[in-house]
Amino acid sequence: MKKSAQAVIIGGGIIGCAAAYYLAKEIDDVILIEKKCIAGESSGANYGMVWQQTRQDGYDLAAARRSLEIYPQLCREVFDLDIEYEEKGGMTLFFTDLQAEAAKGYVEYKNSLGVPVRLLSGKETRSLEPALSSRVTGSLFCAEEAQLNPFYTTLAFARAAQKEGATIYQGVEVLSINLDRGAVCSISTSEGKIFTNHVINAAGSWAGTVGAMVGLKVPVFPHRLQSLVTEQIPKLLTRTIQGSRIARTSEEAAKTFQYAYDTTGGNRPCINQQPPAECIIESSLFYAKPTVNGNIVLGTACDFAGYNRETSYEALAVIAHMAKMIIPRLKDVNIIRSWANFDPWTADGIPIVGETGVKGFFIAAGHGTGMSHAPATGEALAGLITGSAAAIPLGEANINRFTGYREEC
């Protein structure tokens, strides 16, 4: 194992691999350390959505839009494998007239932010996706959205990073991060020590564990998502769809498209905030992603169960029922697999990216939106570390947005 590096990235998910690629383009001696294997956790188990309609105004949306810009270029010029990137547009379904009413205001708001989302009637929705049930009363459609194969994309970034000279160690665990007068000076791993002045915590749902190595509280928690995978079938869906929660009162309907964290009155998330304890499986969003191979990945049911990777009967049954209700023809389709993964969760739904109170220690974690953000995050982080101009400002994503952060330092 190498004895020194200019920068060490911890975590071989999409964020770590993208960061490794962009950093290796700028500097020599970039090392990526992964405890298991590339895309072995959440980056290999998600719906591969590169969406902007659901992103919050500010950093979240800017990162998604920048990524939508970069991906086609990466596919053309950088990646040496087909990541199955397809700009087919994204669709959010709703089921009641009250939601259709709420959607109007949402579309206006999104258009004002430059997101080209349109309101479709039930009939228009089914003309694009004929397999959808008549219970779908309309949808929000954004043509400038894409889907990809998350596993291949992570691998493509890892290979691109290696081509730029980065070294990737898999099956290596970080044991401690060592400081000298408050600044990062080395890390100790299960395979030896590496001297470095820059460490990037891209450990996803395990970012808290890595943060604790330098005495920082990093409020990222494992959000368990469960999914079903169908057998390969003739084409049923063209694009990835998201189903909103069914709203029956105008109050519920108003919340249908509310993805943003409520920051009114200077309300900020707190560093000590724990994820909600109650089970939220019943109110999870629905996802259906048609893969290039003809399988459909169906989700989701979310809850917080620590690092328990088991699937549950209740969750899988909820997904199956939603799938049957929204896409009736799935009734006779076999399920070949089910899985649970840990989607990194933060209190305000925005990842934590940027420098910290510990000199040389950076964070790029908490992405429930890894596929939508990775290229932009990697690019911006590399800019931050090498001092080049940033395509998107990172300020809003910094960990210091959490109240109580300074006391921790």
Instruction: Tell me the HSE value of 162 on the side-chain side, using a 13 A CA sphere.
Output: 14
Asked if 92 and 139 touch (Cβ cutoff 8 Å), the reply is yes
Instruction: Read off φ and ψ for residue 247, nearest 5 degrees.
Output: -115, 130
Using only the alpha carbons of the chain, give its radius of gyration: 21
Minimum distance from CB of 321 to another protein (Å)? 8
254 lies in the binding site for another protein (CB under 8 A): no
Nearer to another protein, 170 or 338 (CB): 338
Minimum distance from CB of 328 to another protein (Å)? 13
Window 331-370: contact mask with another protein (x via CB under 8 A): x---x--x--------------------------------
Minimum distance from CB of 144 to another protein (Å)? 38
Minimum distance from CB of 291 to another protein (Å)? 21
Nearer to another protein, 285 or 335 (CB): 335
Minimum distance from CB of 312 to another protein (Å)? 6
What are the beta bridge partners of residue 53? none
| Residue 13 tokens, joined | 């998910």
Segment contacting another protein (CB under 8 A): 27-35, 102-110, 294-302, 304-312? 304-312
In the region spanning residues 140 to 179, those forming contacts with another protein, defined by CB under 8 A, are none
Asked if 145 and 67 touch (Cβ cutoff 8 Å), the reply is no
Size of the site for another protein (CB under 8 A): 11
In the region spanning residues 309 to 338, those forming contacts with another protein, defined by CB under 8 A, are 310-313, 316-317, 320-321, 331, 335, 338
Minimum distance from CB of 337 to another protein (Å)? 10
Minimum distance from CB of 317 to another protein (Å)? 5
At 408, which amino acid appears?
E
Measured CA to CA, the distance from residue 382 to residue 26 in angstroms comes to 8
Asked if 132 and 91 touch (Cβ cutoff 8 Å), the reply is no
Nearer to another protein, 76 or 331 (CB): 331
Nearer to another protein, 194 or 323 (CB): 323
Minimum distance from CB of 338 to another protein (Å)? 7
Per DSSP, 48 falls in state -
Nearer to another protein, 158 or 281 (CB): 281
Nearer to another protein, 39 or 316 (CB): 316
What are the beta bridge partners of residue 188? 176, 193
| Residue 251 tokens, joined | 């109050």
Minimum distance from CB of 313 to another protein (Å)? 4
Segment contacting another protein (CB under 8 A): 133-141, 281-289, 292-300, 308-316? 308-316
Residues 6+ apart with CB under 8 A from 198: 6, 7, 8, 184, 360, 362, 385
Minimum distance from CB of 329 to another protein (Å)? 14
Measured CA to CA, the distance from residue 156 to residue 45 in angstroms comes to 16
Segment contacting another protein (CB under 8 A): 158-166, 256-264, 305-313, 383-391? 305-313
Nearer to another protein, 77 or 310 (CB): 310
Nearer to another protein, 156 or 340 (CB): 340
DSSP string, 64-112: HHHHHHHHHHHHHHT-SS----B---EEEEE-SHHHHHHHHHHHHHHHH
- H-type helices in 247-400, by residue range? 250-255, 313-326, 370-386
Nearer to another protein, 271 or 327 (CB): 327
* Alpha-carbon dihedral 198, 79, 14, 169, rounded to 10 degrees: -60
Residues 6+ apart with CB under 8 A from 359: 182, 183, 184
Nearer to another protein, 123 or 309 (CB): 309
Binding site for another protein (CB under 8 A): 310-313, 316-317, 320-321, 331, 335, 338
